[in-house]
Structures are given as structure tokens and as C-alpha cells.
Amino acid sequence: MPEVGIAVLGSQPVTIRLESTDVVGSGSAAWPRLLLRFKIQLTQPHGQEAGMSYVLLRLTGRIEAPKIGEIAHFDAGPLVEEPPPHPFPAPLDITVDLDRARVWQYEEARSGAEAQLNITFSGLAWLPQKQRFERVYSSGQLQLRVPRSHWVDEVVSRWGLSGVKMIEISFPTSKVGDNFRSAHAHVESAEKLFASGQYKQVLTELRLAFEGLTNSLGFEDHVKDCLDHLFAEFGGEKKEKAREAVLSLYKFLHLGPHQVIQAPNAIGETAITRSDARFALVMTHAVFEYVTPKG
């Protein structure tokens, strides 16, 4: 478990630990937050200051990430923590407010890999025998590596946001609405694949969204006929242009592998980048908002 010590009275009697799976997302898309479930252990100082006592009054932290530097800071609030007679790791839950723009920047830098966070601590202690306060600092950084799967499932997903979703879709309460909702589930799955860095699979999942909708509406893999049906009320040139625009997107999605088990970026395949996958996601969201019945 990653840990770091905090220096007080010439030694490091305070230890802070954080398991990689004790990082959880909370809040909302408008206000993403990060819950850090630390363990803190206070012991008696040793060395020249052995026998002296201290009270930890305040603990703050700075969270940094590779490539982009500081992404957040936090304050644990007022504390009155003294070393117990029998030291043990006590829970210390801290919720960190995040900036959505900073989250976007971090996800771009992470680019589907594991999440790396480096945390530096500082604080304030009261020294009763010396009748003075002392600023305290961590001896280094608590270097955290959160597995990609945990970060996607327990952090990003809990925020209820994807760096690309900007459209809210209301599905009708009808059988047709159920068909659209079922097809859109593939889009939501594609968002998770995007966060995991599986960009070719993003395109495949989005293609399945269109094909699932086509089949559920009774057009049996005839996407063009399904679009003619969806745009029937348009008529004329508007219908033709709308259909061709969506068909062009559908053709683009065929750049993804047709089977998820296919090896990514095999010889002869087109490399799909993060930008490609984001483009496909944004466009598919827009299409579903456009074609979903409003009532």
C-alpha cells in the first residue's frame, strides 16, 4: 500500500497510507469530486525528541499528475489528533472538489492508461512541552497508481460524465422509446471503452448501436431503409442530406473491428486514435438526439 511519512519533532511519527482501490468518484457531472479513503497512524516521536508529545491540528494536501502538474488541493479540516497508547491505522476520509476542465485535461493526459496521482502533505502541529506550533511536511510524495479498470468503473463512471457527452436525450415512454433506449446502451458502453483507451472497440460499439436500432425497428440490417423511415417526415432534399450524413458516419464506424476479440492495430488495419473515437462519440450522440422521437 502506498504510504508517506510526515515529519514532526525531528522524526516521522505520522504515516499516511492510501490503497489504490480506496479512491472513489462522487458528486455529479457539474461538480465532480474525489473521495480518498486514507489511513493515518500517529506514533510517539523517537530520536532526540523521544518522549515529547504533539497534537496534529491541520492536514492539507496537493494532488499532482504527470504531464499536467497540480490538479487539486484539499484541507482535511480542523483536527485534534494525538498519538494513542496503542497506535493503529485510523480511517481519514477526505473529499476533494475537482474542476471539470481539469478533469477533462487529466483524462486526455491519462489517455486510457492507469491513473497516476502524486500527493504531497503539509500541516500544523501543536507541541505542548515547547508551547509552540510547528509547520509539518511530508517526507516526499504518496505515489498512487490506480488500475485502469477501477478508475473507469469506480471514479469516472460515478461522476456521470464522459469528456465527450454534451447532449441529454429523453426517450419516449413507449415501445419505440424502449428500442431507442436499448440501442443507446451501446453508446454508453462505448463511453466506458473510450475511458479505457480501447478506441477501435469504441467504433464497433457505436456501429452496434445503429444496427441494434435498425433491427429493433424491423429493418433487419438495412440501415439505409431505417434512416429513410426515421427521416420520412422531412421529404425532399433535407431527407436525402440527413440520411447521407448519418450513413457517412455509419461507414466511418466500420473502421473499428467487427469482433472485439480481434487484435487491435493488427497488420493492415487502420490505427484508430483517441481523437477518432471522440469524434465518433460526439457525432453519434448528436445523431441519437436528432433522430429520437420527442414524444
CATH at 198: 1.20.120
Q: In terms of domains, do 42 and 132 share one?
A: yes
Which alpha helices (H) appear in the chain, and where do they start and end?
A: 100-110, 148-150, 157-159, 175-195, 199-216, 223-230, 236-253, 274-291
pLDDT of residue 192: 87
What is d(CA 144, CA 115) in angstroms, rounded to the nearest whole number?
Answer: 8
149 — phi, psi (to 5°)? -65, -40
Residue 272 within any structural domain of the chain: yes
pLDDT of residue 1: 81
pLDDT of residue 163: 44
Q: In terms of domains, do 131 and 19 share one?
A: yes
pLDDT of residue 139: 92
Range of the domain at 283: 175-291
Q: In terms of domains, do 143 and 235 share one?
A: no
Residue 170 within any structural domain of the chain: no
- pLDDT surpassing 80 at residue 295: no
Higher pLDDT, 167 or 104: 104
Residue 189 within any structural domain of the chain: yes
What is d(CA 22, CA 273) in angstroms, rounded to the nearest whole number?
Answer: 31
Task: Provide mean pLDDT across the span 148-173.
Answer: 69
Residue 204 within any structural domain of the chain: yes
pLDDT of residue 161: 59
Q: Please, what is the Cα angle at 247 between 243 and 249, to 5 degrees? A: 125
Q: Which amino acid is at 11?
A: S
Residue 164 within any structural domain of the chain: no
Residue 210 within any structural domain of the chain: yes
Q: In terms of domains, do 120 and 71 share one?
A: yes
Q: In terms of domains, do 50 and 128 share one?
A: yes
- pLDDT surpassing 80 at residue 12: yes
pLDDT band, very low/low/confident/very high, at 236 (cuts 50, 70, 90): confident
What is d(CA 207, CA 202) in angstroms, rounded to the nearest whole number?
Answer: 9
Higher pLDDT, 288 or 248: 248
Residue 154 within any structural domain of the chain: no
Domain count, the chain: 2
Q: In terms of domains, do 55 and 91 share one?
A: yes
Average pLDDT over the chain, rounded to an integer: 87
Most confident range (mean pLDDT) of 10-19, 27-36, 103-112, 260-269 is 10-19
Give the three cell numbers for residue 295: 414524444
Q: In terms of domains, do 244 and 280 share one?
A: yes
Residue 153 within any structural domain of the chain: no
> Do 165 and 191 touch, CB atoms closer than 8 A?
yes
86 — phi, psi (to 5°)? -125, 95
